[in-house]
Amino acid sequence: MTRTVAVIQARTGSNRLPGKILEALYEDVSLLAYQCRRLRDIPGVDELVIATTEAPDDDAVVELAKAEGIRVFRGSEENVLSRFLLVADATLASTLIRITSDSPFRDPDVIAKCVAEHRAHGAEYTRPADGHLPKGLRAEVVETAVLRQIDEDPATTVRDREHVTIHIREHLDRYRCHVVEFPEALRHPEIDLSVDTPDDLDVVRSVHAELLARGWPVDTLHICRLMEENAVLHSIITDLAS
């Protein structure tokens, strides 16, 4: 049996904006809750889970996951790779999708396209092509067997374990890798919709409110279209990213 599981790696610890993933995007809906609701039914994905830490502060993440009806797994704060393998063991996942929790606008259609191409090309690691999507809207697909290989390698560093896929990205020649291309309209690498500071939080709130005010869906295409039409918002975002 093969299973594909999407993993949101989430913790409340943050140097510049502690607890950011529990901050409200709108009304009483937090960034993490919004992301969970968007990604719970991704085509081609068997399950969405959250991988958090054993730190007491992350009890709040566990409670959120329960409220959203999503399984949550707790592991090492520093060794994120071990958290992913914990998820793989518990869910019998042969393929994992790595999703960070600091951007609420991950697009299920983008992830589904990455998963479909990953399978079609028999890849071990798949990601969007460089420059083909705004930052904060990307996802990575990786075979569990590759992560086990990295975990068991004596040469694997603390940095490799913290960042999960960085070893693969720095040694692409060692793996069957595939990059997914997206239409020209989505190629806005100057836009960064990840949240790391209070200003970033204000930006994603503004983007969400503006999309709703226009009656547009919150997807990658309409986010990019909004950036093209709203010069002020585009300028604010690119200034923050620079």
Q: Write out pLDDT tens, residues 8-59.
A: 999 998 777 889 999 999 999 999 999 999 999 999 999 999 999 999 999 9
Query: Do 146 and 83 form a contact (C-beta atoms < 8 A)?
Result: no
DSSP letter assigned to residue 2:
-
Contact 44, 51 (CB under 8 A): no
221 C-beta neighbours (distance < 10 Å), count? 16
CA gap 163, 79 in Å, rounded: 8
Quick: pLDDT tens for 159-193. Answer: 999 999 999 999 999 999 999 999 999 999 999 99
Q: What is the DSSP letter of 115?
A: H
Confidence band of 199 (pLDDT split at 50, 70, 90): very high
* Mean pLDDT, the chain, integer: 95
151-159 mean pLDDT: 96
User: Comparing 2 with 147, which gets the higher pLDDT?
Assistant: 147
**CATH no. of 4-183:** 3.90.550.10
Number of Cβ atoms within 10 Å of the Cβ of 77: 16
Count CB atoms within 10 A of the CB of residue 130: 10
Beta bridge partners of 54: none
Residue 234 reports pLDDT greater than 90: no
Question: What would the mean pLDDT of 134-150 be, rounded to a whole number?
Answer: 96
User: Residue 202's pLDDT is what?
Assistant: 95
What is the pLDDT, as a whole number, of residue 1?
65
Q: Would you state the structure tokens that stand for residue 36, as one six-digit string?
A: 């969970």
Share of the chain above pLDDT 90, in %: 90
